[in-house]
Amino acid sequence: MEDCIFCKIIKGEIPSKRFYEDDLMIVIEDISPKAVKHYLAIPKKHYKLFSDMSDSDAEELGACIKKIGDIAPSLGLENGFRFIINQGDDAEQTVFHLHMHLIGGQKLYSCDYRNHD
Ligand code: AMP
Ligand code: ZN
């Protein structure tokens, strides 16, 4: 956790553009956007993997997801968005602190948002 880049962002040790924050999560801009709008919703609690959560953790995550639905229009995602959690090697997870990608602001034609050629 000490070396976790998202824990450092949450603590303010690494700068980020924050679009939303509450006691459970922050929403920041992805540093390498894959669409016109690309945000990361990052729970403040450090979970390495999506599948690490307990039942009560899952309740907290549910609250985060509900909030994302509420604030999506204020993020410029009123026409829709893709909601992605990458877990593990096959999904090419690169940061091992659970986060949700919110991708939109345009028509999303490819089902692989990384757009490998
Ligand atoms: P994933 O591949 O699902 O683990 O996603 C990690 C995401 O974090 C990638 O889309 C990166 O572009 C993004 N990312 C890495 N470092 C930063 C940072 N300092 N600020 C914002 N986004 C970042
Ligand atoms: Zn972390």
Give per-residue pLDDT as tens, 12-42: 999 999 999 999 999 999 999 999 999 999 9
d(CA 25, CA 46) in angstroms, rounded, equals 11
Q: Is any atom of ligand 1 closer than 6 Å to the C-beta of 91?
A: no
Nearest atom in ligand 1 to 28's CA: 21
Is this prediction's pTM over 0.85?
yes
Active-site amino acid positions? 99
Report residues of the chain scoring pLDDT below 50: none
- Which residues, 6 or more positions from 36, have their beta carbon under 8 angstroms from its beta carbon? 104, 105, 106
Output the CA 57–ligand 1 centroid distance in Å: 22
Q: Is any atom of ligand 1 closer than 6 Å to the C-beta of 49?
A: no
